Amino acid sequence: MQRREKILVVDDEKIIRESLYSWFENEGYQVDTAPDGETGLEKFRIGKYDLLLVDLKLPGINGLQLLKEVKEIEREAIVIMITAFASIPTAIAALKEGAYDYVTKPVDPDELTHLVGKAIDRKKLQIENRFLKENIASISKPDLPVGENNQMKIIFEMIDTISETDASILITGESGTGKELIAKVIHSKSGRKYFPFISVKCGALSESMLEQELFGGEPDIQRGVHLRRKGKFEMAENGTLYLDEVNSISPKMQVEILKVLETNQFTRIGGSEQVSTNFRLIAAANANLEKLMSEGNFREDLYYKFNVFNICIPPLRDRREDILPLSKAFIKKYSNRLNKTAKKISLDAAEFLVNYEWPGNVRELENAIERAVVVGKSDIINVEDLPMCISSIHFEFDDGNMSLSAMERKHINRVLNDNKWNISKSAQILEIDRVTLYNKIKRYNLRQR
């Protein structure tokens, strides 16, 4: 059966070249030959070979030099050296330069066939592993943050710098600002990206539950626990451990966590064995840790252990220029996820989104856009498509004018803008005739934007 793998035989002895050519061709490989190092190098430059069989003693460029040249062109090239018994020390030197293995003359065809097959299978596995890693990375890669705000741009630049280190990071900001997303982006850009990202919501757990969650436990027959339970310290091995709302951690647990960070060791609950651990820590807080320290509610040494690098994410109300780009990103996300046509945002809805205070920050905005994508009946997101708890605020006017005429003016203006000032369509939606609509436009001095 014809195989796809291609072998290049480089040997100055014609009988060896022809023998290896015939042997591997009968085995189903595609085979090419070269009588010297220069020819072999030229063929390698212009052709794709899965494996090279190279004699150490070649005229001109010898086998060791050819190996070095080949490795400079393709670092993962598989090269098996062929050597006489007397030149085995040179063959060992070739192994140090990256040769896969070597065989001695006279060559045993069966032994060489087995070695070639094993080497090619190994290369296939390496390619598959790389492909899987790349695909896993692309699948698990978090959505990159969106932002035009200068402070957010500085944060994005900082992420690229600190991702390359293993230093601890403290991310601060109000709830919903996207602290965990930033942590996931840092993890995805780091050398630990192929290992777990483990998240712990400290604020949702009592002291005893947090201890069990982090440290795990040994079997305890009296309590009906028959299996060893891994904790998050153990599950995060070689990856990243994200501790959210660390400001809620009790004084006792602060001491326990500090010990683990200082020694890189811990003991499971109910056990005595010291377990070594290796993870990168990213902590997050939605309260002022410095104030908590001054009040005696947070350990200073743990704060500085967390705070090697600090990222402070501003609330959404302080970066209003990010609201519409974020909204459009969420529209795309949920349109794809829900198999819906991507919607546009009406001028009225855009104005409202930008002016709303967003107490729940980015999380609240995302939830609002998701709802609008689901419930919206047209290809335009209008204010009424937003959650009622948000959109009801739309009718509170800055000037305090709550008269019927003020509300009518606002409503007519919104309908006109949503329909790109199509008078016939707007009149139909408002259930009035075109003449009446023209009169109201004139009365309220409305202008197309």
pLDDT digits (tens, 9 = 90+) for 44-73: 988 888 899 999 989 889 999 999 999 988
**Rounded-to-integer distance, Cα 21 and Cα 32, Å:** 7
CA 252 to each of CA 17, 104, 207: distance values in angstroms, whole numbers, following the listed order: 74, 66, 8
Say if residue 423's pLDDT is above 80: yes
Please write the tens of the pLDDT for every residue from 351-379.
889 988 888 899 999 999 998 998 888 88
* Strand pairing report for 265-267 and 274-276: antiparallel
Which residues is 345 bridged to in the sheet? Answer: 381
Q: What is the pLDDT of residue 415?
A: 81
In the block, which residue shows the tokens 């920050």?
Answer: 361
Q: What is the pLDDT of residue 306?
A: 96
Q: Is the peptide bond between 106 and the residue preceding it cis, with omega within 30 degrees of 0?
A: yes
**Rounded-to-integer distance, Cα 371 and Cα 373, Å:** 5
**Rounded-to-integer distance, Cα 384 and Cα 406, Å:** 18
Average pLDDT over residues 279-305: 95
Per-residue tokens: 205: 């757990």
What DSSP character marks residue 266?
E
87 vs 354, higher pLDDT? 354
Average pLDDT over residues 157-169: 92
Looking at beta carbons, which pairs linking 141-146 to residues 24 or more positions away fall under 8 Å?
Answer: 141/188, 142/181, 142/184, 142/185, 142/188, 143/181, 143/329, 143/333, 144/185, 145/178, 145/181, 145/182, 145/185, 146/322, 146/325, 146/326, 146/329
The 10 Å Cβ neighbour count of residue 287 is 17
**Rounded-to-integer distance, Cα 233 and Cα 219, Å:** 18
In the block, which residue shows the tokens 């993870």?
Answer: 279
Biggest CA pair distance of the chain: 105
For the chain, which domains are there? 6-136 (3.40.50.2300), 150-314 (3.40.50.300), 318-443 (1.10.8.60)
**Rounded-to-integer distance, Cα 84 and Cα 172, Å:** 66
Q: What is the pLDDT of residue 1?
A: 46
Q: Which of 98-107, 137-146, 256-265, 339-348 has the highest mean pLDDT?
A: 256-265
The 10 Å Cβ neighbour count of residue 297 is 15
Cβ-contact 105, 88 below 8 angstroms: no
Cβ-contact 242, 197 below 8 angstroms: yes
**Rounded-to-integer distance, Cα 7 and Cα 20, Å:** 10
Per-residue tokens: 308: 């090697």
Percent pLDDT > 90 in the chain is 50
Residue type (1 letter), 252? K
Collapsed DSSP state (helix, strand, coil) of residue 231: coil
Q: What is the pLDDT of residue 177?
A: 92
Per-residue tokens: 61: 């460029």
Q: Which of 4-8, 116-120, 377-381 has the highest mean pLDDT?
A: 116-120
Burial group, residue 333, by CB count within 10 angstroms (0-12, 13-18, 19+): middle
Residue type (1 letter), 233? F
388 vs 98, higher pLDDT? 98
Collapsed DSSP state (helix, strand, coil) of residue 30: strand
Please write the tens of the pLDDT for every residue from 212-267.
999 998 877 666 655 778 899 999 999 999 999 999 999 999 999 999 999 999 99
Question: What is the helix, strand, coil percentage profile of the chain, to 5?
Answer: 55, 15, 35
Least confident of 98-102, 190-194, 221-225, 370-374: 221-225
Q: What is the pLDDT of residue 183?
A: 95
Mean residue pLDDT of the chain comes to: 86
Cβ-contact 444, 414 below 8 angstroms: no
225 φ, ψ (degrees, to nearest 5): -100, 110
Please write the tens of the pLDDT for every residue from 21-34.
999 999 889 999 99
Q: How many residues does the chain have?
A: 449
